Amino acid sequence: MLAESPAPGKDEPENLIPKQVLGISGDQGIPLPAAEPELPGGQVDIASLFYIERHPIEERCYQTILQPSALIRIKAPRQMGKTSLMAKILHHASCQDYRTVPLTFQLVDKTVFANLDKFLKWFCAYVGRELHIPNQLDDYWDEIFGSKVNCKDYFEKYLLPQIDTPLVLGLDEIDRVFQYPDIAEDFLGLLRAWHEESKRRDIWKKLRLIVVHSTEVYIPMNINQSPFNVGLPVDLPEFNPMQIQDLAARHHLSWSNLEVDKLMAIVGGHPYLVRVALYHISRSELTLDELKETALAKPSKRIADAGIYSDHLRRQLWNLEEYPDLAAGMREIAAADSPVQLKAIQAFKLDSLGLVKLHGNECVPRCDLYRQYFRSHLSAIG
């Protein structure tokens, strides 16, 4: 479950609040006070000095969530910062005295997905519990009307009237629902219906939605399908050089453009890969030159088997091994020294995994780390 930090109270001493959260920084944009490096992994705490904003994304999301019937759809490959952004939006909403409910579907028991009726009952009960509203499902659930109508009635006639401020639901890891196509189609259809209903009925204007999913969900799907195509789409980009230099400074590293360029030559601007490197370098566990030697060694098995990116790379390799057509395409891209043109579906899905950059249908590896690793580990694929 995503944790929400309460908004600072009026009587709380200002010096207890990280100055980045207050919008205060040094002359060079370096946040004060300095903090000990944080081991990257999962959501970045909303008060962390190591959260890097990707202007103008955060500000646009903050403005959007305050609008009636808002729906924000955040999508990107894994480890790009989706959950962290959702938490920031929820915190911003809570600072406006909105009610907020974060829900990560990774924590839902498999048995809940037995059928649509059970899933929607669980969904209604969970939201009610988080709002501290007593469970009254028996009073609103009539099998003759079907699960979707019952769920709509429970929100419209019971949950939403119980609160006098807007409600923001943060639905994280909705990828889990996509594993159950019948439930996913009806549930996403229900969310779309609520969004449309909010354009004509005031009660539904109180409900704001944030839907978060990894683009990995596109891999097993038909390319012409879309899991969700309404609301404000937010695609999270990589960090740019200025953002990486800022993040390095927050790790107590006085880097020039030269060091930033060296790191980006290895991992590009991938947020997780950049943060992992800066964490270990700032703790003097390796140098930038040592990172380059291990990450770009030929063959690059050392970085895969024991390096700082081992888990990340093994997961990506496992994804490719599940889909031989994609593995063959990535092998071709990694082996080439110039852009490779693939079938549109191959290119789209490799981009969805976050492994390549697209220029039309021409692909190049997202970073040199991927080029060297997959050049070595996919060489056996014909």
Give the model's confidence band at 115: pLDDT under 50 very low, under 70 low, under 90 confident, else very high: very high
The CB density around residue 165, as the number of other CB atoms within 10 Å, is 11
Q: Over pLDDT 70: what percentage of the chain?
A: 85
- Written as six digits, the tokens of 142 are 């009539």
Closest alpha carbon to 49 in 243, 250, 240, 241: 250
Q: Where are the domains of the chain?
A: 55-235, 310-377
CA-CA distances (angstroms) from residue 216 to 179, 194, 226, 351? Answer: 12, 26, 12, 9
CATH architecture classification, 55-235: 3-Layer(aba) Sandwich (3.40)
Task: Please say if the pLDDT value at position 70 is more than 60.
Answer: yes
The pLDDT of residue 300: 44
Share the mean pLDDT of the chain. Answer: 86
> Looking up tokens 């549109």, which residue turns up?
344
pLDDT tens across 306-352, in order?
A: 589 999 999 999 999 999 999 999 999 999 999 999 999 999 999 99
Instruction: Encode pLDDT of 35-66 as tens digits.
Output: 788 888 888 988 899 999 999 999 999 999 99
Tell me: the pLDDT tens digits for 203-229?
A: 999 999 999 999 888 777 654 445 567
